[in-house]
Amino acid sequence: MIRASMRGVRSTSNGFVAAAILCAGLTLSACSAPAWSGTVSGRLLLRSGTAGTPDQPVSGTVIIGTPTVGHYGVWIPVDSSGTFKGNIITGTYPMIGQSPSFGNGKLTCYASPRSVTVTKGSKTMRDVICNAGPSW
């Protein structure tokens, strides 16, 4: 079972934020999307920087930062297929990733654009790229 991790979570006056965070990274059978959230999905990819070489899916973690939980955000695990999916409360957040295949997990991978906007009931797809080539 894949589990979402909450790092740096601050307590809130209601359970809605905690429920949204716990839903990130879980299957719909385990946790359905709350009415005040949207779904963010995509792939974590390694880009070699060599022309003609396709991006490769990698395992790791995608982090969607939220003002409610601070800069640590919601951590969504990514398996070797490179795909991820999570239910996130509405708002606009920075989105980054890390992979053991990219700088031993010590370098940052970025979504393009670097933030994601989640609206009520939305389904947003955003890839996160670990760019091993020239910076972009």
Stronger pLDDT, 78 or 30, i.e. the higher one:
78
The pLDDT tens digits of the residues spanning 82-103 come to 999 999 989 999 999 999 999 9
Report yes or no on 97 lying in a domain: yes
Report yes or no on 69 lying in a domain: yes
135 CB-contact burial (10 Å; exposed 0-12 / middle 13-18 / buried 19+): exposed
The domain containing residue 57 runs over which residues?
5-131
Stronger pLDDT, 4 or 80, i.e. the higher one:
80
Question: Global pTM?
Answer: 0.71
Tell whether the model's pLDDT for residue 7 goes beyond 80: no
Report yes or no on 136 lying in a domain: no
Give CA–CA dist 97/85, Å, rounded.
13
Q: For the chain, what is the domain count?
A: 1
The pLDDT tens digits of the residues spanning 99-123 come to 999 999 999 999 988 999 999 999 9
The pLDDT tens digits of the residues spanning 11-68 come to 333 333 334 444 444 443 345 656 689 999 999 999 988 888 999 999 999 999 854 5
Say if strands 37-47 and 123-125 run parallel, antiparallel, or are unpaired.
Answer: parallel
Report yes or no on 127 lying in a domain: yes
Extract the tokens encoding 107.
Answer: 């370098």
| Rg of the chain on CA atoms, in Å | 15
User: What CATH number is given to the structural domain containing 33?
Assistant: 2.60.40.1120
Give CA–CA dist 67/65, Å, rounded.
7
Classify each residue of 62-75 as buried b or exposed e, where b means 16 or more C-beta atoms within 10 Å of its C-beta. bbbbbebbeeebbb
**pLDDT value of position 35:** 66
Give CA–CA dist 116/107, Å, rounded.
20
**pLDDT value of position 127:** 97
